[in-house]
Amino acid sequence: MIRVLIADDQTLLRGSLRLLLDSQADLTVVAEAANGNEAVERACSELPDVVLMDIRMPELDGLAATRAIAERHPHVRVLVLTTFDLDEYVYGALRAGASGFLLKDTPPADLVAAIRVVAAGEALLAPGITKRLIEEFARIPEPGRRPTTELSVITDREKDVLELIGRGLTNQEIALRLILSPATVKTHVSRLLTKLGARDRAQLVIVAYESGLIVATR
């Protein structure tokens, strides 16, 4: 059973999400939070598998709450839900430790699927978000990027896998692209997490961008 915490300042939306999630056989809502501080408190007390986190909330915004939860409980996954799809929010959410980012107009079935994906340890971005992130990184001055020497600790094959992770591909898609078995791809991902000191797959996405491994057209 996947345990979910809903953090949003809109009571009606929280209620609607609870009804949707509790109707799923493998999902259960263990708590709700109306602001960022409550989200952190509930996450620490309930230790849910996934937190659905709104970005704009009173007292403490969703990015700060996400950062606090990620620092205290790394195994609690945060899926950010927002009406805003600006690059600054996407990047800020991922840097804060979020494992996924979806817009609030995402179809219910896709939201449910996203929770399962994030709970399984995968990173998830709304359609189109990855492309815009790449475009955003193309505008970041080179001094702001991580040194490419950081990637010297990984093999060429691991670098191939990291690039495809950064482009938003799933393990299955990476396996097909590189003609590898899903199990082999999973092993490469595990080694990348260890070698690069990444908390989860979403942080590997950040490394792929900041290292300059993914080159976008300016």
* SS3 state of residue 186: helix
pLDDT of residue 74: 86
pLDDT of residue 195: 92
pLDDT of residue 199: 76
What is the reported pTM? 0.74
Q: Which two tokens stand for residue 176?
A: 């097909």
Q: In one letter, which amino acid is 147?
A: P
pLDDT of residue 183: 94
pLDDT of residue 216: 55
pLDDT of residue 96: 80
pLDDT of residue 10: 93
Going along the chain from its start, the domains and CATH numbers come out as 2-127 (3.40.50.2300), 134-210 (1.10.10.10)
Low-confidence stretches of the chain (pLDDT < 50) are 141-144, 218
pLDDT of residue 215: 65
Per-residue H/E/C for 126-183: CCCHHHHHHHHHHCCCHHHCCCHHHHHHCCHHHHHHHHHHHCCCCHHHHHHHHCCCHH
- d(CA 171, CA 166) in angstroms, rounded, equals 12
pLDDT of residue 89: 72
CA dist 43 to 3, 53, 75, 147, 164, Å? 11, 11, 11, 35, 32
pLDDT of residue 160: 95
